Chain A
Amino acid sequence: DTGVSQDPRHKITKRGQNVTFRCDPISEHNRLYWYRQTLGQGPEFLTYFQNEAQLEKSRLLSDRFSAERPKGSFSTLEIQRTEQGDSAMYLCASSLGDIPKSYGYTFGSGTRLTVV
């Protein structure tokens, strides 16, 4: 297992286009998280899955954003009708945890989105 993989690494898109990112977590990890990081800031939480269930969504996740994790394995994050403010690094992380104790996170390398 090579860790958490994200694809693509970079994406440049025109405003108004739809984009989709993929995250492949560590295979035995049941939890998967999406974060967004803008320049000079720390990452901000977007959404979180336990297996295939999306358990929490941030208010940052407008109705243009949708995330899925079919079959509890890889996850996709789609942004519809992109805006320039969506330009950011989108980070995926996974962890293995048994409620109530969780274990350390493993982060992917991120997908850098630039909306022009």
Chain B
Amino acid sequence: KNEVEQSPQNLTAQEGEFITINCSYSVGISALHWLQQHPGGGIVSLFMLSSGKKKHGRLIATINIQEKHSSLHITASHPRDSAVYICAVRSANFGNEKLTFGTGTRLTIIP
């Protein structure tokens, strides 16, 4: 079992729909990242969370430390939101700086 699991793996929705992508992890963490990757492109960091909720434009990220679960929401989705969304966690172990990634959720927004 992977330390970081994302669901769904693929998601297709109509423009304007509310999107939710889920991430569950099995290890203690110091931070969780939500990242966006376009085809052939690099990775853009969307959020870094250690508790609670963050909002940036139409994107909202929440985390529940007790349940080891995080969600990424997109309101009023748009075709330009089509990308792979990746959840990554940083271990709570002191000095362990690397990220462990989920396999990503491929989002396609249809006009």
Contacts and interface: CB of A to CB of B under 8 A. Distances in A.
A104 B98 contact: no
Given A42-B103, A93-B43, 11 more contacts: A33-B97, A40-B103, A45-B99, A55-B97, A100-B95, A102-B31, A102-B97, A103-B48, A104-B33, A104-B45, A105-B33
B41 interface: yes
Interface of B: 4, 30-31, 33, 35, 40-45, 48, 86, 88, 90, 94-104
Ranked 10 nearest A-B pairs via Cβ: A42-B101, A109-B42, A107-B43, A45-B98, A104-B48, A42-B103, A43-B101, A110-B42, A104-B45, A107-B42
Given A31-B97, A48-B97, A100-B94, A41 B103 contact: yes
Main SS at interface, chain A: strand
Nearest to B43: A107
Given A33-B97, A42-B101, A102-B31, A107 B88 contact: no
**Chain B interface mostly helix, strand, loop or mixed?**
strand
Contacts of B97: 31, 33, 48, 50, 55-56, 95, 97, 102
Contacts of A112: 40
A25 interface: no
B88 A42 contact: yes
A68 B31 CA distance: 27
Contacts of A33: 97-99
Interface string A45-58: 10010100001101
B100 to A, nearest CB: 7
Interface in A33-82: 33, 35, 40-45, 48, 50, 55-56, 58
